[in-house]
Structure formats: C-alpha cells, structure tokens
A and B are shown apart, each in its own frame.
Chain A
C-alpha cells in the first residue's frame, strides 16, 4: 500500500495516517534523499527510533537511503510521521503485510547509487527477537575502486576477518573474484538476540547489489526460575551451582533453539540440576571411579566414558566419532580439544552439551530428530531405568534418589 503518490519535499513534520485492516506483521518502507546539513527522522505512532533509522545528509550526501521497519500492528488507525530538520525529499512510503513467519524473506534486487561509503539501507526489527539473517549480495570489482558492503548490527560492525584492507566491509570486491567468479555471495549471520528493537544497517561503497535479505526471528526463551533445594543433612548447599546451571543451559538453549530445526522445547535448568544431584550430589558426593565428584559435578569427564572423547573427536579407538545435524547435514561432533573439565562450570557446560547430543538423532534421510528429554536423560546416564527414574522423579517431585527427605 503506497502512502505517498509521488516524491515529496518535506520541510515540516508530516503525519501520514494509515489503517491496516488486520492485526499482524507489516513492513513499512521509507526512502528519502537528504542534503548535507539536513536530517529526517521517522516516528510510528509516536515511537522514536535510534539514529540508525534516521537520515543524515552529512553521511548520505543526497543519495537515496531506505529504512525498513518490520513491526507488529493492530488493525485500525496508525500514524507514520516524517520529521525533517530543514528539509528532505521523501520518495517512497509504503506499508505491506508480511505473512511468512518466522522466516521473513525480502527479495530486493536493488543496486546502490554509486557513491563512496555511505548509509544505504537500514532494517529495523521492532520488538522482535532475531535468530539469524541471511544476505545475498554482489560486489563487483572495477578499476580503481570496486563495490563493498558494510553491515552493522545494533552498532557493531560485522568484521571481515579474512581481509586486511577491508576489515569493516564484510562483502568486499577484489580482482581475483572478478576473474574466477564469486562476486555474488551469500552469508548467514547467527545473532540469537532476544526480543527488543534491532537495527541492521547496510552501508555501500560504490554500487553493490543487495539481492535478498532473510530474517529468522523466532527464539524460544530459557526458563529463568530454578527450583530451590533444601539443605543437605550436613548443611550441604545444593543450590550453590544454580548460577552455573542457568548460564550453561541458556547458552546451549540459545544455540540449539536458534537452529533451523530446533528442539520442541527449551531444556529446563531444573532437569540439569536434577542430573547434577544424581551424578554427584552437587559435588558433595563420592564417585565410583577416580574421577572426583568435585569439580566434575556432572560427571562428564570420566576418561572411561565417551563424552569428552566424542565431543573432542580425539580419535580414542574405544569411542568412534559421532554425528549431529548442523547446517542441514550430518557432521562429526568436534570441539577440537575445547571440551575439558577444570571447574564445576566446565562440567556443567559440557555436561549440558553432552545431554543435548544425546537428545537428538539423525534419520535415514539425514534429517535431525529430537527425542523426549526423559529419553535423553537415560542416554546421558548408564541407560538404566533406575537412573532415568531417579533423575525424573527428583526433577518433577523433589524425590531424593537415595531415600532421603524430599528436596523441594
């Protein structure tokens, strides 16, 4: 729906009413040119936005910039306000409904006007989470200066670590790509940002082409409340690892819930707490092997068990490599020696990772499958019903596995 019939010179605040006919997600687009020393800001229903969503003539130098707002609107009356400082030429204002969620694909096929290093587009995700986004762009090399594209997310520049001369330009042209091909590339950016307003800026140098932009916006939240256990018979503090448990679970939840095929529900830190209790009584218990209950509170580091060997793919002949689906294909799990236990946080961190490994499988077509968490608990432990029930009953009812007083 176009809200402006033609390019308009705006030299005073201009409210533009519009009326979506249904509740839902909308993409509002504003394109404008602003001369040096002039500015233009946008408000939607009185809501203001950061500078990334504004138009500054000092940076744009009268080139065309477009700001896209991805926003949830209710049916009914709304107002988009154009607020200039001096004047601005607004070329387009549009509102379009977006139906495809949680993956929002914007086919743009737009080439920037030829200019040196200036803001070209900004995408504002209003009050949404951001799991990841994918960009396909063409940056052509030409003598003496080729195209480049910079991406800034919430004020942080995406660094091009493979280039010395174009560190801040994540898409950078060069003569070799021109010769062997590869001027058009697609990159995925994993962000895992929780619900808030997020700004993705695109700056252009010369005239790159942006083919499409795709957002994945859904992330489930990690439960933040953790069950408090009673003190042990000798005054043991069974809640001393709560912060480590919540932090580790949140880290791995964010990783797996942010995948293309996430688990059906986030891992509950209370389940992990129950596992830690059964494995080591929060580090107060004894261990049947030389692997001590503290700091290996989740008992993931026993050298005769597969966990760390498999996570590190250390080629121990007893434990062949194992697989998980990542980036759409079965890959060998390999943290290349990172997985080790030196303190309780490490044990919980890698224990949760191992639990997540045991919570998933691969079908014959190579697709990821998720098991029920109770099954994952069994696979985490020795695979016996006794172990599974010990953890589950503690998790659900506070039932102390060794017959002691209820822990809730």
Chain B
C-alpha cells in the first residue's frame, strides 16, 4: 500500500509536536524541582536572628509598659501574650529578644505575680533559671534570676527583684557563660539554689555556672536591704561535685567539694562559710 505523503507529513508533525510537549513538561517539572530545592535550601540556611523583628517586638512591649498605668495589668498581659505568639510564629529566640527588657518589667509592674507572669510569657524566666524566696528575711518573697547573655554567652547576670526595696533591682555579673548544676552535669536541681550555708538560719543564694569547660563554678551570695555580697567563689577544681552535708563536728555548715585539681588528680575539699 502506498504511503500517503500528506498523512506522513501530518503524522511527523504530530510526533514533533508531541516531542515538544513532552520536553516542555519535563522542563517544567525540573524547574519546579529546582525552585522548591532552592526554597528548601533558603529555609534550612535561614535560622538567623531577625534583628528588625527584635526591635519591632521590643517596641510593642515597651509601648505596653508605657501604657500600663492607664491600661492596667490585664490589657498589658494581652499585649505580651500577643508578642509571645508573634515571636513563636516567626521563630525568634526569646532570651535574645527579650532579656534586655527585664529591668523595664521590674521597674514598671507592681508585684511579684505580675512580674513573674510577664517574664515567663516573654521567655525571660524558665525552669532552672529563677527562684522565688525570702532571701532577706523581710517576710516577702524576692525573685532571684540567673540571666544568660544569650547572644554572646559571655556572662551571666544574677538579678534580685525586690518589690519592697529601693532600688528594686540588684544585679551582679558573673564572668561565666553557661548554667550548670551542683554536679557539673547541667542536669538535676539546676543552676540556682537558695539554702543556708552559713549556719545562721539565713538563706544564701548559690549559683552553679560554668565558663564552658571544666564544670560548675560556685558563687555564693548574701542579699540584704538591696545589697548583694559575694561571700564565696570556688572555681579552681575541674568538674566538681558540691555536697551540702549540713553541720560539721564543730557545728558549722559545711560544703564538701569533690573534683580534680590542675594536675588532674581527684581531690576532696571542705568549705565553711561563717
């Protein structure tokens, strides 16, 4: 049977057209793949700090605190909750964004309850970095906070918020970057303890913090009438464990410290605070 040249012509045109369509579809699929991969890469690599967002959210909090006397606590808390949601949604770092606002919160708000709720809402306080205790024996609780330098991990600030005192905020900067624990593991009871180590039935503030390597350094403080005194600093042993054993045979409170010295030998020391 003779081939119809017209049929052959049309058929070859159809084939050509089909090939073009197929190639276009393949190209489109490949381009979508390329585009979505690029988007993925952008998202994976963009765990960045949006400092513009930080300024914007801080501004919202500052404005709410400025209006607090007029608007009252409930309205202020609504704003802070909204800021928290914005932060969570946009993937911000709470400590980096809001730690700077702690002093403003303490200066503006009226009570422990308001302050702790506001600080918790903004992620400034969280389990392990704060305590509520009457550390100056005035029959009122103070708020004790260990606040990290979340951006550069260069220091930790011990802050006492005392609504009965002037100044309301007392601060001490520790030259350490990390929160640790009494056994240097960073786990367990946490970096902040309130206990009597002086044997006088008055509480001291104990902080277990670390420079990064070498385990927990102990800084102990007394707080009275807006004044914070460093009464003990122990940072010469490596990976120490601090044991609070109560009173020694002389009736004084004792801290046993077990760790390693510079020669990497295990040592046990006994500390007394008078």
B264 CB within 8 Å of chain A:
yes
Residue numbers in A under 8 Å from B49 (CB-CB): 323, 329-331, 366
A381 CB within 8 Å of chain B:
yes
B139 CB within 8 Å of chain A:
no
B165 CB within 8 Å of chain A:
no
B167 CB within 8 Å of chain A:
no
Residue numbers in A under 8 Å from B33 (CB-CB): 162
A135 CB within 8 Å of chain B:
no
CB–CB A382/B178 < 8 A:
no
Given A162-B34, A163-B34, A288-B259, residue A383 in contact with residue B150 (CB < 8 A): no
Interface 1/0s, chain B 189-210, versus A by CB < 8 A?
0000000000000000000001
A320 CB within 8 Å of chain B:
yes
A177 CB within 8 Å of chain B:
yes
B239 CB within 8 Å of chain A:
yes
CB–CB A384/B263 < 8 A:
no
Partner of A332 from the list B38, B48, B213, B214 (CB cut-off 8 Å) is B48
Residue numbers in A under 8 Å from B272 (CB-CB): none
CB–CB A289/B239 < 8 A:
yes
Residue numbers in A under 8 Å from B239 (CB-CB): 288-289, 304
CB–CB B212/A306 < 8 A:
yes
Given A382-B211, A402-B262, residue A175 in contact with residue B24 (CB < 8 A): yes
Complex Cα distance A386/B213, Å? 13
Interface positions of A from 82 to 135, Cβ below 8 Å from B: none
Q: Which of the candidate stretches B66-74, B104-112, B151-159, B243-251 sits at the interface with the other chain? A: B151-159
Given A285-B264, A287-B264, A361-B154, residue A382 in contact with residue B27 (CB < 8 A): no
CB–CB A320/B235 < 8 A:
no
CB–CB B32/A176 < 8 A:
yes
CB–CB A175/B95 < 8 A:
no
Given A176-B32, A318-B187, A330-B51, residue A384 in contact with residue B212 (CB < 8 A): no
CB–CB A162/B37 < 8 A:
yes
Residue numbers in A under 8 Å from B51 (CB-CB): 329-330, 365-366
B237 CB to nearest chain A CB (Å): 9
A305 CB within 8 Å of chain B:
yes
A73 CB to nearest chain B CB (Å): 41
B127 CB to nearest chain A CB (Å): 10
B29 CB to nearest chain A CB (Å): 10
Interface 1/0s, chain B 232-274, versus A by CB < 8 A?
0001101100000000000000000001101110100000000
Residue numbers in A under 8 Å from B215 (CB-CB): 304, 382
Complex Cα distance A322/B33, Å? 32
A319 CB within 8 Å of chain B:
yes
A340 CB within 8 Å of chain B:
no
A281 CB to nearest chain B CB (Å): 10
Partner of A176 from the list B31, B154, B176 (CB cut-off 8 Å) is B31
What is the total number of residues of chain A having a CB less than 8 Å from a CB of chain B?
46
Complex Cα distance A300/B216, Å? 17
CB–CB A362/B212 < 8 A:
no
Q: Which residue of A lies closest to B211 (CB)?
A: A383
Residue numbers in A under 8 Å from B37 (CB-CB): 162
Complex Cα distance A320/B179, Å? 10
CB–CB B93/A321 < 8 A:
yes
CB–CB A177/B151 < 8 A:
no
Complex Cα distance A50/B157, Å? 61
Q: Which residue of B lies closest to A384 (CB)?
A: B235
A31 CB within 8 Å of chain B:
no
Question: Considering residues A177, A305, A307, A382, which has the most beta carbons from chain B within 10 angstroms of its beta carbon?
Answer: A382
Given A304-B239, A307-B212, A366-B51, residue A175 in contact with residue B30 (CB < 8 A): no
B119 CB to nearest chain A CB (Å): 17
Given A320-B95, A366-B51, A402-B263, residue A383 in contact with residue B177 (CB < 8 A): yes
Residue numbers in A under 8 Å from B264 (CB-CB): 285-288
Partner of B27 from the list A174, A299, A401 (CB cut-off 8 Å) is A174
CB–CB B212/A176 < 8 A:
no
Complex Cα distance A386/B263, Å? 13
CB–CB B30/A163 < 8 A:
yes
Interface positions of B from 173 to 188, Cβ below 8 Å from A: 175-179, 184-187
B172 CB within 8 Å of chain A:
no
Interface 1/0s, chain B 136-168, versus A by CB < 8 A?
000000000000101111100000000000000
In addition to A331-B47, A332-B47, 7 A-B residue pairs with Cβ atoms within 8 Å of each other are A318-B178, A332-B48, A334-B47, A358-B212, A361-B152, A379-B212, A383-B175
| Closest 3 pairs (CB-CB, A-B) | A383-B211, A382-B214, A288-B260
Can you list 12 A-B contacts with CB-CB less than 8 angstroms, sorted by A residue number? A304-B215, A305-B214, A306-B178, A318-B178, A330-B48, A361-B151, A361-B152, A379-B154, A382-B235, A383-B217, A401-B262, A402-B263
Interfacial residues, chain B to chain A (CB-CB below 8 A)? 24, 27-28, 30-35, 37-38, 45, 47-49, 51, 93, 95-96, 148, 150-154, 175-179, 184-187, 210-215, 217, 235-236, 238-239, 259-260, 262-264, 266
